[in-house]
Amino acid sequence: MNKHDWSRFLAAVAATFAAVAASAIPVGVTVNGTPLDSGGPSYGAGWLYDPGSSTLFLFGTEPFTLSGINVIGGVRVVISESVTSMVAFSNLTLRATGDNRCAFALETNACVSLFLAGENTLMSGENRAGLEVAAGRTLSVTHAPDDAMGSLTAMGGDYGAGIGGGDQGAGGTVTINGGMVVANGGLSSAGIGGGWSGAGGTVTVSGGTVFAQSGAGGTDIGSGYNGAISGANLFTGGSIRLANDTITPAPSNGTARVWCVTVPGLTPGAAVEIALPAENLPAYFGVNGLFADAVGCIYLWLPDGDYAFTANNIDYTATVDGAAVTASVSVDAPLFATDGTALVFDGVLLSIKITNAQNGVMYTLYATDTLGGSWILEQVVQAQADGDLVFENISASPTKRFFKVGASASSPQ
């Protein structure tokens, strides 16, 4: 090849590389730090991205970290048949566009351990689950080790579960050990479990915070509309809220039926730490990764029995007897001060002190002019610390008055 031919060859190669580079348009998603693009296949250890089908195949056992955003159907993830792998979502959002398109699906006998970091969202098209774990597939979910607030929102298309089966598909085996998981089923499908006409599979929750909502006609956790009532729901920890209060089959801890215990009065969105006094929750019950919902509640699932526990320094008691129940704040009866300072007069005004107030509890002062008469509410004060609490600026004009104090978690009693 003479120098002129060689020059033309080099120019052709340069033009080819330029054309390839020009067509390489990033799709917004990375795998282990490598960006995917639409100009041609991308690949690495255990994975391949085919831009023609917009599919990222994970076929190896290597740990994979998926990050980025694509909401125009440019990336859908498939875990290959019989593969067992570890996958981390790190601020990942995928939306599949078009019917029968799934954002993230496990093939037959696939087994995935999923770790959540940051905020992650999966949205699928009609007939497919948001995160598709059909019968014969296995998924376990928890938060990443350094992110207790790691979250996932999985939204099924019409006739597909949030997490579980697609249209006419039964759910597989889903275990949630931690993280914040929101599963919204499409029309006639479960939040977690079966798609339309699909059975529920096996759902186990041992920790974390879970919110499950079915589409019209499905159950929140369990079978889809017209699906066989089979499988199992095992609740041994975590906070589990069912939007429509529907679940099939009835949940258990493996040996006994469990019921929802709503724990109110917490700060919305805040982490919740459970302390266990002498009379406590069952020893097996997992309390890691709990967060209060938008109305300041967590939802514990417990068998029949009497329980006493502390959540964020508030004492609660609950008695479960064959039905769902709301836990009550455990409040000692307030006492008037016994050191001679309970009543303090200042002209026409009066102050009253009680001595055993509990932090966060609402105390209500009532008065009446005659014993046996109607009690009139005077003041409501929320204790800001344990110890003394004073009602101030009370009218001292009546020649004789009687007082009582009530205590409650949130409202006068």
Q: Which of the two residues, 358 and 258, has the higher pLDDT score?
A: 258
pTM for the model stands at 0.81
Q: Across the chain, what does the average pLDDT equal?
A: 91
Q: For 236-266, b where at least 16 C-beta lie within 10 A, e where not — what string?
A: bbbbbbbeeebbbeebbbeeeebbbbbbbbb
Count Cα neighbours of 29 within 13 Å in the Cβ-side half-sphere.
31
Tens digit of each residue's pLDDT (9 = 90 or more) over 144-194:
999 999 999 999 999 999 999 999 999 999 999 999 999 999 999 999 999
Residues across the chain: 413
User: pLDDT per residue over 361-407, tens digit each?
Assistant: 889 999 998 888 899 999 999 888 888 999 999 988 887 889 999 88
Please tell me the least confidently modeled range out of 150-159, 243-252, 326-335, 351-360. 326-335
In DSSP terms, 106 is beta-bridged to 79
Closest CA to 252 of 291, 216, 282: 282
Across residues 292-301, what is the average pLDDT? 96
Burial of 143 (0-12, 13-18, 19+ CB in 10 A): buried
The tokens describing 46, both together, are 């255990």
Cβ atoms of residues 46 and 62 within 8 Å: yes
CB 330, CB 297: distance < 8 Å: no
pLDDT at 159 (0 to 100): 98
| pLDDT tens-digit series, residues 369-380 | 888 889 999 999
CA distances from 140 to 101, 155, 173, 206, 262 (A): 23, 18, 8, 11, 25
Instruction: Give domain limits for the chain.
Output: 27-246, 262-329, 343-408
Q: What is the pLDDT of residues 45-60, one digit of tens each?
A: 999 999 999 999 999 9
